[in-house]
Structure 1
C-alpha cells in the first residue's frame, strides 16, 4: 500500500508542517496539490435534499429514488454523457461522481438541486441556510471542557 500523507491547509501552522514534510520527502515521491473535496456538511445536505425531491416530484411519470435523483442531477448539471445500456433497452448517464467533486462543484450541485426544487414547489425540510450553519459548527475549533 502506498505511503500517503494529506494536509488540508486551513491555517499557517498547517502550511508550515506541510512545508517541513515536503522538504523531508525522499526523492521519487509524488506530490499532488488539489482543491479539497466536498465537506461533511455538504455531504450531509445532499441526501436529505434528494429525499425531499424524491418524495415530492415525479419524473417521466414515475416516482424516483434518492439514488436515481442523484444520477439525474449529476448527469444534468455536469452534462454527463448518455450511452446505451448493454441490452439496448435504455440509456445510462455517465455523470460526475460526487465523492470526487471539489467544495465549489459540490456547492454548485446543491444549489442546482435547491433551484430545481423551488421550480417544482418542493418543500425542503432543511434549507441551504441550515446546512451552512451546520458546516460552521463542524469547522469551529472544539472548546476545552472544564470539569
Structure 2
C-alpha cells in the first residue's frame, strides 16, 4: 500500500477495505475521516458567481476581485474570527479556505451568494451556466462571454478577474513572446501519441503546464501568454462550457501567481480540489 490512500465509503466492500488497511498499517499511521468535499461542478459555479458579483458590485467605494469576494462570503458563512495581523493596522480572518468545505457547506455558500445578489442594495444578475437548447435544435454560436478566446494581450477574461500580467515590453529586456530564457520556443505539454484523454486530464495538464511557468521569474510574461493562447485556441477550445469555466479559473490563478498576489503552492491546493488531483500534479 502507498503512503496515502483515499476511499469514498459507499458499499460494505469499502468498509471492509478500510478495516483491512487499519489492521495492516504500521503504528503511527494517521487516519482521517471527513465528509466528501466540494464537487467540481460546485467549484465552477461558485467561481462563475463570484466573478459576476465582482463585475457588478462596488463594495464601500472599491471594486473587489473574485478572490476577495470568496473571502468575504466564506467569512460570513463560517462566522470567521478576525485577529490583528503582524503588521500594524492589519487584520486577518481565520479559517478562510474553501478547499475544506463539504458539499453541503458549498451549497450553503452558493445560496449565500444568491441571497446577496437578491438584495436591492447591491443587485447581481447571475447567468445560468447550464443554458440548454430544445432537443434537435442547432447549437447556438458561442458569444464573446461564453467562449474562452485568446487575443494578442492574452486570454479574454471577464472584467472581474485580476488584471493581466504585464506586457513583455514592460519587463527589463526579457525574452520575446513565446520564447524561453535560452531563446527557444516553449511549447505546451502534449499527451502521449494515441492516448485518449478526458476533459479533466486536459485541464490538469493545462494547469501543470502554465502555473509553474507563471511562478518562474526567468520566463517572460510574453512567453507565458503565448503558451496560454496556444492552449486556449487548441485543446481548451473543444471542451464543454463547464470545463471552460474551470480553464478560466486556471487562467485567473496564473495571473495572480505571475503578479505576485498569491503563491503557486496555495493556488495549487485550491485548484487541486476543483480538478480532483493532488496539488503536486499541478506544481504545488
Structure-1-length-normalised TM-score: 0.73
**Aligned residue in 2 for 1:52:** 52
Q: Which residue of 2 aligns with 1:8?
A: 8
- Judged with a 3 Å threshold, the aligned counterparts in structure 2 of structure 1 residues 90 and 23 are, in CA distance, closer, same or farther, namely closer
- Matched residues in 2 for 1:7 and 1:17: separation? 9
**Deviation by residue 1:35-63 (Cα, 9 ceiling, x = unmatched):** 11111111111111100100011111111
Q: Which runs of 5+ in 1 are unaligned?
A: 135-147
**Taking structure 1 as reference, are residues 11 and 115 closer, same or farther at Cα in structure 2, changes over 3 Å only?**
farther
Q: Give distance in 2, aligned partners of 1:30 and 1:118.
A: 44
- Structure 1: distance between partners of 2:83 and 2:28: 40
Alignment match, 2:104: 104
Shift of residue 92 of structure 1?
2.9
Kindly report which structure 2 residues correspond to 1:1-147, keeping only aligned pairs within 5 A, or say none: 3-119=3-119, 120-126=122-128, 130=130
Query: Contact between 1:77 and 1:112, CA under 8 Å: does it hold in 2?
Result: yes
Question: 2:34 is paired with a residue of what secondary structure?
Answer: coil
Unaligned runs of 5+ in 2: 131-241, 243-284
| Greater RCO, 1 or 2 (C-alpha within 8 Å, sep 6+) | 1
Q: CA deviation at 1:8?
A: 0.8
CA shift digits 1:87-108 (9 cap, x unpaired): 3334332243111112211221
Structure 1 residues 40 and 87: alpha-carbon distance in aligned structure 2, compared to 1, 3 A threshold: same
What CA distance in whole angstroms lies between the structure 2 residues aligned with 1:13 and 1:77? Answer: 36
Cα shift at 1:84: 2.8
Higher strand share: 1
Task: Determine if contact 1:71/1:95 at 8 Å carries over to the other structure.
Answer: no
Distance change >3 Å, CA 88–CA 27, structure 1 → 2 = closer
Contact 1:84 1:92 in 2 (8 A): yes
Quick one: distance in 2 between partners of 1:95 and 1:126? Answer: 30
Partner-residue secondary structure (3-state), 1:83: strand
Greater Cα shift, 15-24 or 91-100: 15-24
Q: TM-score, with normalisation over the residues of structure 2? A: 0.40
CA drift of 1:109 comes to: 1.2
RMSD across aligned positions (CA): 2.4
Write the distance in 2 (CA, Å) between the matches of 1:112 and 1:4. 35
Give secondary structure in 2 for the equivalent of 1:61.
Answer: coil
The alignment of Structure 1 onto Structure 2 pairs a total of residues equal to 128
